[in-house]
Chains A and B, each alone.
Chain A
Amino acid sequence: MSALAAARSVLGRDLRRARRRPGDLAQPLIFFAVVVFLFPIAIGPQSELLRSLLPAMLWVAALLALVITLPDVFAADYADGSLEQLILSPQPLALLVLAKIAAQWLTGALPLIGMSAALGAVLGLEATVWRAVLLGLLLGTPVLSLVGGLASALAVGLRGGPLLLALLTLPLYIPVLIFGTSAARNAGLGLAVEAEMFFLAGLSVLALTLTPFAIAAALRARMG
């Protein structure tokens, strides 16, 4: 029980950070919206091309917006010494790390999905495609948070953090991007999207079971 209490405390702590520093929460969201709105400006708002590109734009913008929030996962805790205390806690580190990633997903990815819903509706996405994009993001973003957390752990304390992290992480996001956009395309053609959704869910479960241990090991190695 005390391990769960510790994990809950980690989760609550990071959620509090987001609540007390709303600027940190808003910046990636605004970045996301700006990137998405650059396309209608470049392509022209009424074109058929824009409507067919919209799911891909939402996905790519979401990946970029998520990548810029990654350094926040461990960098601040590394700087103020909290990360040492987390590692030295007698509680299982993988569980504590999972709580941190959960907080990152709740404060970083979930608002992005909400924003995608709003932007998709505003820019005139078809209902079936809109649903496929949102469900894909919902199933795919846990992978992005977990894999990004691993990269963030590996890069903690290194110089050139944020850009290095983006370079490390974005290639690893490609499978999720492929399944996510393919689902949206299929939905647009009136085809079934279950296969892609199952793949995304499978990737999420895989990441959920493996990456916490990898992140814990990476953090211990980085501290040495």
Chain B
Amino acid sequence: MTPASPTPACLEARALSCIRADRLIFEALDFTARAGEVWQVTGANGAGKTSLLRLLAGLGTPAAGTLHWCGEPLPEARDYYQAELLFLGHAPAVAGFLSAHENLMHACALSNQPLRMPLGAALTRVGLPSADDAPAQRLSAGQRQRLALARFALVPARLWIMDEPLTALDVAGRGLVEALLTEHAARGGVAIVSTHQGLQLPAGVLQQFDLSGLQA
């Protein structure tokens, strides 16, 4: 196992191509996301934002091109990479039959990290009641999204990949995502975020990345 923080966080993509269902989604994609940067991926519907983020997370293999995390090639360094990665997909990975607390506990057990704060504090942070035994199926879509965000407050990871994190969130929830991203960048983390909406982040943190020009 590689020790924590040996090199500054850095995700590097070179000449990345993605093919889904025999269709070329994008090709020759290059970027380098460095420590302290939040990359916002934009692009029209169908431009391949989700495909790109899943590819980066390791849920899929690129048709061509290479990915490096802190200089190490993927997927060879997958074990090391996955220990440093938090991923938020379209579905918030909230099990309806577990309470919010149990959902979070399970997520922590799956990750291999000492936690940043107590579970209750993380729930409070994302605006959910910290001592509620009700099953999560009673939560609204926005509350489930907040519960998914609680993982990001709780589990230390240097790379965040978030697919449409603002879905179903209210104005305060959007502020919460921005605050989490700002803290993450200040700690020297890297984040790749897809969203259509503008993000309010400190100057120098936000990098824009448009997929629309890369379609075949």
By a beta-carbon cutoff of 8 Å, the part of chain A in contact with chain B is 2, 5-6, 8-10, 13, 16-17, 20-21, 77, 79-82, 84-91, 96, 223-224
- Determine whether B58 belongs to the interface, using a CB cutoff of 8 Å to chain A: yes
* Chain B, 19-63, CB within 8 A of any chain A CB: 54, 57-61
Lowest 7 A-B CB distances belong to which pairs? A81-B91, A9-B109, A81-B93, A90-B83, A224-B60, A89-B110, A223-B59
- Determine whether B141 belongs to the interface, using a CB cutoff of 8 Å to chain A: no
Size range of the interface on B? Answer: 20 to 34
Residues of B within 8 A of A88 (CB): 57-59, 82, 85, 87
* Chain B, 62-98, CB within 8 A of any chain A CB: 79, 82-83, 85, 87, 89-98
Give the dominant DSSP class at A's interface: helix
Give the dominant DSSP class at B's interface: loop
A82–B95 contact, CB under 8 A? yes
- CA of A88 to CA of B86 in the docked complex: distance in angstroms? 8
A80–B83 contact, CB under 8 A? no
B135–A20 contact, CB under 8 A? yes
- CA of A2 to CA of B96 in the docked complex: distance in angstroms? 25
Task: Pick the contact of A90: B57, B82, B106, B135 (CB < 8 A).
Answer: B82
- CA of A85 to CA of B148 in the docked complex: distance in angstroms? 11
A20–B97 contact, CB under 8 A? yes
B93–A90 contact, CB under 8 A? no
User: Which partner residue on chain A sits nearest B57 by CB separation?
Assistant: A88
Most buried by B among A2, A79, A85, A89: A85
Residues of B within 8 A of A79 (CB): 91
User: Which partner residue on chain A sits nearest B148 by CB separation?
Assistant: A81
User: Which partner residue on chain B sits nearest A9 by CB separation?
Assistant: B109
User: Which partner residue on chain A sits nearest B20 by CB separation?
Assistant: A224
Residues of B within 8 A of A84 (CB): 57, 59, 87, 89, 91, 93
Residues of B within 8 A of A20 (CB): 97, 135
- Determine whether B105 belongs to the interface, using a CB cutoff of 8 Å to chain A: yes
A81–B111 contact, CB under 8 A? no
